C-alpha cells in the first residue's frame, strides 16, 4: 500500500469519526433541549388534571350544599304551613264550639214564646252512637205524647263524657243526636222542621266525669219538647236524667 493510499484511508476514517461524533452531539443536544419541554408538559397536564378534579369536587360540594339548603327550606315551609293549618283548625274548632252552644238558643229565641213541656234522656255505650232496644222503647213512649201536642219543636242535644279530644267528641255527640232524630222521623213521621239538634261534645256535663257512673250519664242525648201552647198533662213526659 502506497503512502498516498494510507493518507486517503486515514482521511476517510477521520471523516467517519467526525460524522459519528457530530450525529451523537446532535442527538444529545436535541435530547437535552426537548426533555425539559416534555417534563414541563407532563407537569402542566398533571396540574390541569388536579385542577379539574378540584373544580369537580367543589362543584359537587356546592351542588350538595344547595340541595341540602333547598331541602331544609322546603321542610321549613312545610312545617310553617302545617303550623298555620293547625292554628286555623284550632280557631275554627273554638268558634264552632261557641256557635254550637248558642245556635239553638238563638233559633228558638227568634220564634214565639216556646216553653218546655216534656223531656227525655237516652244514654249510649262508650264510643257508641247506636240506639239500644231500651233506648227505642223510651223513645216510643216519648213520641206517643206528640200526637196531642200542638205547635211544638224538639230540641235534641247530644253529649259525651270527657274521654277523648274535643273535635272527636263533637262529632260523636252529633252522631248520637242524629240517631235519635232519624229514629223518630222514620218511625213517627215527624217532619224535619220540628227538630233542632246540636252536638255539644263534653262541653256540658250532667254528672261527674271522674266516676264511671257519671261518665255513663254524660254519654246521652237529651230530647225536650218545646211548645208555645199552654201545657197539658197529656203532653207532659218526664224521662230519666
Q: Is 0.85 surpassed by the pTM of this model?
A: no
- Tens digit of each residue's pLDDT (9 = 90 or more) over 34-88: 566 556 566 666 767 777 777 777 767 767 777 777 777 777 777 777 777 766 7
- Give the per-residue pLDDT at 40: 57
What is the distance between the alpha carbons of residues 205 and 214, in angstroms, rounded to a whole number? 9
> Mean of the pLDDT values across residues 138-157?
87
CATH annotation of 111-235: 3.30.1330.60
Q: Is the pLDDT of residue 153 over 70?
A: yes
What is the distance between the alpha carbons of residues 132 and 176, in angstroms, rounded to a whole number? 12
Task: Give the residue extent of every domain in the chain.
Answer: 1-100, 111-235
Which residues in the chain belong to E strands, given as ranges?
A: 115-123, 152-158, 195-199, 220-227
> Mean of the pLDDT values across residues 16-22?
57
- Tens digit of each residue's pLDDT (9 = 90 or more) over 188-240: 998 888 888 888 888 888 888 889 898 999 999 999 988 887 555 444 444 43
What is the distance between the alpha carbons of residues 225 and 119, in angstroms, rounded to a whole number? 6
Could you count the other beta carbons within 10 Å of the beta carbon of residue 140?
13
Amino acid at each position: 500500500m502506497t503512502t498516498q493510499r494510507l493518507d486517503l484511508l486515514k482521511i476517510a476514517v477521520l471523516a467517519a469519526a467526525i460524522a459519528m461524533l457530530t450525529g451523537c452531539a446532535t442527538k444529545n443536544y436535541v435530547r437535552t433541549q426537548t426533555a425539559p419541554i416534555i417534563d414541563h408538559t407532563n407537569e402542566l397536564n398533571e396540574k390541569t388534571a388536579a385542577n379539574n378534579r378540584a373544580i369537580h369536587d367543589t362543584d359537587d360540594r356546592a351542588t350538595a350544599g344547595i340541595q341540602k339548603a333547598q331541602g331544609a327550606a322546603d321542610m321549613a315551609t312545610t312545617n310553617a304551613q302545617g303550623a298555620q293549618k293547625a292554628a286555623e283548625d284550632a280557631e275554627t274548632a273554638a268558634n264552632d264550639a261557641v256557635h254550637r252552644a248558642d245556635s239553638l238558643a238563638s233559633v228558638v229565641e227568634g220564634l214565639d214564646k216556646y216553653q218546655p213541656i216534656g223531656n227525655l234522656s237516652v244514654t249510649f255505650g262508650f264510643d257508641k252512637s247506636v240506639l239500644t232496644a231500651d233506648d227505642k222503647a223510651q223513645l216510643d213512649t216519648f213520641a206517643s205524647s206528640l200526637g196531642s201536642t200542638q205547635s211544638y219543636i224538639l230540641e235534641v242535644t247530644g253529649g259525651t263524657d270527657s274521654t277523648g279530644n274535643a273535635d272527636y267528641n263533637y262529632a260523636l255527640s252529633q252522631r248520637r243526636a242524629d240517631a235519635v232524630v232519624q229514629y223518630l222521623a222514620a218511625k213517627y213521621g215527624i217532619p224535619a222542621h220540628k227538630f233542632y239538634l246540636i252536638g255539644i261534645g263534653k262541653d256540658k256535663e250532667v254528672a261527674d266525669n271522674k266516676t264511671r257512673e257519671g261518665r255513663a250519664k254524660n254519654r246521652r242525648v237529651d230530647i225536650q219538647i218545646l211548645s208555645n201552647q199552654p201545657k197539658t198533662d197529656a203532653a207532659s213526659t218526664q224521662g230519666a236524667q
